[in-house]
Amino acid sequence: MASSRLFLDPLALRAFHHTLQARIDEALAALAMADSGPRLLGPDPALGEFDDATRTSLRHHQLRQDYLTRLRRLVAALQAARSVTESMIQKFAAAEAINVAQMRRLLHRVEEELEQGVADGR
């Protein structure tokens, strides 16, 4: 039977969030290098005008465009994951602060009751 409870380790979430920035930087660097055009990846090969050369050149161009598209999607996905983990971390911190405040109020009441009991001779 499946449980409706979810456990998430806030420390692991923070560690994951921290590593995401490094992955984003790597993906952005790869995108910048690949998107800089023929300078770094080289121009589409000059293979001549016969049929096979034309198809090969077109395929080379299409592969480059697919690679760029995939890199852009990777960057977008990593940035979305970083945004979501940031939001989750903030929500966990807010919930933790609320829990701490509630616990302090309860402990204060218990302390008052104990002091009252001692004063009453209980």
- Report the distance separating Cα 103 and Cα 95, nearest Å: 12
Residue 23 to residues 11, 19, 29, 90, Cα–Cα distance (Å)? 19, 7, 10, 21
Where do we find the tokens 């930087």?
25
**Is pLDDT larger for residue 26 or for residue 53?**
26
Per-residue pLDDT tens digits for 57-113 = 888 888 888 999 999 999 999 999 999 999 999 998 898 899 999 999 999 999 888
- Report the distance separating Cα 75 and Cα 80, nearest Å: 9
Would you state the pLDDT for residue 122?
Answer: 62
- Report the distance separating Cα 13 and Cα 106, nearest Å: 29
Burial class of residue 60, CB neighbours in 10 A (0-12, 13-18, 19+): middle
Per-residue pLDDT tens digits for 33-57 = 887 765 555 566 666 778 888 888 8
| pTM assigned to the model | 0.67
